[in-house]
Amino acid sequence: MPITVTSRDSALTIALSGEIDHHGAREMMAQLDQAIAERLPTRLVLDLSGVTFMDSSGIAVLLRSRRQLEHTGGELRVTGIPAQARRVLDAAGIGRLISLE
Amino acid sequence: MKAIDQVSVAFTSRSANEGFARACAACFAAQLDPTLDEVADIKTAVSEAVTNAIVHAYPDRLGQITMRLRLYDGGVLDIQVKDAGVGIPDVDQARAPLFTTGGEERSGMGFTIMESFMDSLKVRSQLGKGTTVTMRKRIARRAGAPR
């Protein structure tokens, strides 16, 4: 479950790829936790354009990142959302909680 | 109603089998010539049902999960995911959005997504005996497509 981290000033972009399900979610959360804790970004962009499948485990990943950012006073945006992941996020009404682009 | 075709697969409640179950359901549904969106809906709903069984039915041990796929006239696909685990104490509560006992790794949206992506969802559960989730989706026949 690879993630790619790019940072510029206090902004962090993390590209997620592959399938996000319960099987891989724990490792992905740990990687995200570490990246956020190391850099304490004021802005975090999660780029989902490389995600080939996502179920509600992906929602848990996003909500956890949001909570982490709230602790540091940062802002979370989610970009590059593929159609299947968008349908999952829309069904759960996540757009009310997180900025989806 | 007699099924035109059916497949049953049984697998251990290991999280690595979530992807197997998704792929299996998608392959079976392929004979209906579904759209990419319909395939994605089926895979997502199966992933939720199987993950629920893995996380909640067998919290302290590995157990068996059976997925039965059945096809009926008119492009009706039934997917049944059955476990012999601990059962759900309150099915209505479990189906409520955001309710979870699975900790931070679960969002509590599994049943909501199954309901959204399939035409119908039935959940039968008995404490100590297990849970059966049955989902139905009708795959619309596309113009000119043989069936």
pLDDT top residue among A25 and B107: A25
At residue B78, φ and ψ (nearest 5 deg) are -110, 135
Instruction: Sort out which chain B residues have CB atoms less than 8 A from A27's CB and list them.
Output: none
pLDDT at A76 over 60: yes
Instruction: Sort out which chain A residues have CB atoms less than 8 A from B109's CB and list them.
Output: 56, 59, 91-92
pLDDT band at B53 (very low <50, low <70, confident <90, very high): very high
Q: Rounded to whole angstroms, how far apart are CA atoms B109 and B100?
A: 8
Q: Rounded to whole angstroms, how far apart are CA atoms B18 and B8?
A: 15
DSSP letter (8 states) at residue A62 = H
Q: Rounded to a whole number, what is the largest CA-CA distance in chain A? A: 35
pLDDT at B146 over 70: no
pLDDT at A54 over 80: yes
pLDDT top residue among B143 and B28: B28
| Closest alpha carbon within chain A to B111 | A56
Q: What mean pLDDT do residues B34-63 have? A: 95
Q: Rounded to whole angstroms, how far apart are CA atoms A9 and A7?
A: 7
pLDDT tens string B70-83: 999 999 999 999 99
Given this model, what pLDDT does residue B105 score? 67
Query: Which residues constitute the domain of residue A74?
Result: 3-100
Quick check: B55 contacting A, CB < 8 Å?
yes
Residue A18: exposure state from Cβ atoms within 10 A (0-12, 13-18, ≥19): middle
Chain A residues within 8 A (CB-CB) of chain B? 19, 21-23, 25-26, 29, 53, 55-57, 59-60, 63-64, 83-84, 87-88, 91-92
Chain B nearest-CA distance from A5, in A, is: 22
Domain count, chain A: 1
Q: What mean pLDDT do residues A4-29 have? A: 90
Instruction: Sort out which chain B residues have CB atoms less than 8 A from A59's CB and list them.
Output: 107, 109
Percent of residues, chain B, with pLDDT higher than 70: 90
pLDDT tens string B122-136: 999 999 999 999 999
pLDDT band at B27 (very low <50, low <70, confident <90, very high): very high
DSSP letter (8 states) at residue B7 = E
Instruction: Tell me whether residues A57 and B105 touch, CB distance under 8 A.
Output: yes
Given this model, what pLDDT does residue B142 score? 72
Given this model, what pLDDT does residue B145 score? 59
Is the distance from CB of A23 to CB of B105 less than 8 angstroms?
Answer: no
pLDDT tens string B93-102: 887 776 676 6
pLDDT tens string A81-98: 999 999 999 999 999 999
Best mutation site among A27, A55, A67, A96 for testing chain B: the one with the most B CBs within 10 Å? A55
CATH code at A39? 3.30.750.24
Instruction: Tell me whether residues B40 and A84 touch, CB distance under 8 A.
Output: yes
Residue of B17, B22, B38, B48 marked active site: B48
- List residues bridging with A16 in a β-sheet: A3
pLDDT top residue among A72 and A65: A65
Is B48 among the residues known to form the active site?
yes
Is the distance from CB of A3 to CB of A49 less than 8 angstroms?
Answer: no
Average pLDDT, chain A: 92
Given this model, what pLDDT does residue B143 score? 65
Given this model, what pLDDT does residue B43 score? 98
Among candidates A80, A86, A11, A1, which has minimal Cα distance to A42? Answer: A11
What part of B 86-115 touches A (C-beta under 8 Å)? Answer: 97, 104-110, 112-113
Average pLDDT, chain B: 91
Q: Rounded to whole angstroms, how far apart are CA atoms A33 and A29?
A: 6
Q: Rounded to whole angstroms, how far apart are CA atoms A8 and B114?
A: 39
User: Any idea where the domains of chain B sit in the sequence?
Assistant: 5-138
| Closest alpha carbon within chain A to B40 | A84
Architecture of domain B5-138: 2-Layer Sandwich (3.30)
Instruction: Tell me whether residues B51 and A21 touch, CB distance under 8 A.
Output: yes
Given this model, what pLDDT does residue B102 score? 65
